[in-house]
Amino acid sequence: MAAKFDNKTRYIRIAAFIALVGNAVLAISKIITGIFVNSGAMIGDGIDSSTDVLISIITLIVVRFLSKPADIRHPWGHRKAEAIATAFLSFIIFFAGAQLIINSVSNLITGEHNVAPTTVAIIVTIISIIGKLLLAYSQHTLGKRAGSSIIQANAKNMAGDVLISVGVLIGFIITTTTGVAQADSIVAILIGAWIIKVAAGIFIETNYELMDGNKDIKSYRVIVDAVNSVEGAHNPHRARMRSISGFWDISFDINVDPNRSVLEAHAIASQVEAEIKKRLDNIYDIMIHVEPSGDNASEAYGLSEDEIRNEKAK
């Protein structure tokens, strides 16, 4: 697991540096050009790229926490830092979109319309679209290899940025062909709404890890199948699975014949653990509690085999 985690942090660093440099170049070019042609939509697009620069900086900081070993105050380690940072970034993205909408609505109300775009502005926007496509692809590829929520979230954000830049280009075309100066502000409002949508999606996705949830209930089938494949292991219940920076932390109970010795029960649990590791990658920890068959005490937490099978049938 240590080797896999070292690869994860290496991929995160590479992805963060690529995003940092690429978005810095795009942000500076779009903001300067947007100011020059007085385009709120283009400035907003540049601000969005600036938030991507901030995301990259925070990602590099987070990697340092991910690499820290467990200690007395953090016995599970520091890997939740990635989910916390991802949630924090969703708020940054949200407020960037909200501010863009507020400014654009204000321009429409006050009648401060923007001038027609220049050829330079259109060229910069086209370059931005190409650049964001390349950045989104690199983030998606590296994020998938690393199993990193923060890099995968950034990949989704940059894929949305492509649509944002396309929207800016459409706004330029409408303004140029129709002379409707308000088009830029309207496009800027739509861009702001898209930014907010992306932020909400990232937060909802990250919330599963922060709340120790699991949106894919079918993954529990691995536990059921593993238990049923081991002779002497029965009735998997109180099953809980949570993700810690892309690695699974699993705990559940099994029933064993009460006449078995402690050594035999331990051997059965070890076999179950080995079966799970054969079927599921990126295991952080597995905790198996052995109970004597016939113990039907009520359980407050986790999923039973029946609940897992019923979910399978849906």
Tens-place pLDDT, residues 169-181? 777 777 777 767 6
As a whole number, the mean pLDDT across the chain is 80
> Can you give the pLDDT at residue 126?
86
List the domain boundaries for the chain.
Answer: 2-210, 217-313
The mean pLDDT of 33-50, rounded to a whole number, is: 76
Is residue 304 over pLDDT 60?
Answer: yes
| 217-313: CATH class | alpha beta
Strand-pair category, 234-244 with 247-256:
antiparallel
Query: DSSP H helical segments within 179-296, as ranges?
Result: 183-210, 221-228, 262-279
Residue-wise pLDDT for 77-97, tens only, equals: 777 777 888 888 788 778 877
| 2-210: CATH class | mainly alpha
Query: Is-above-0.75 flag for pTM?
Result: no
Q: What does residue 182 show for φ and ψ, rounded to 5 degrees? A: -70, -15
Residue-wise pLDDT for 93-143, tens only, equals: 788 778 778 877 887 787 665 555 567 777 888 888 898 899 888 888 888
Is residue 276 over pLDDT 80?
Answer: yes
| Residue appearing with tokens 């039973």 | 304
> Can you give the pLDDT at residue 300?
64
The CA-atom distances, in angstroms, between 130 and each of 48, 84, 173 are: 16, 31, 18
The CA-atom distances, in angstroms, between 146 and each of 58, 61, 151, 190, 282 are: 17, 17, 8, 33, 11
Per-residue confidence at 230, pLDDT binned at 50, 70, 90?
A: very high
Per-residue confidence at 233, pLDDT binned at 50, 70, 90?
A: very high
106-115, 142-151, 252-261: which is most confident: 252-261
Task: Return d(Cα 16, Cα 20) in angstroms, integer.
Answer: 6
> Can you give the pLDDT at residue 125?
82
Q: Give the closest residue to 127 by CA, choosing from 67, 168, 68, 73.
A: 168
pLDDT over 90 percentage in the chain: 15
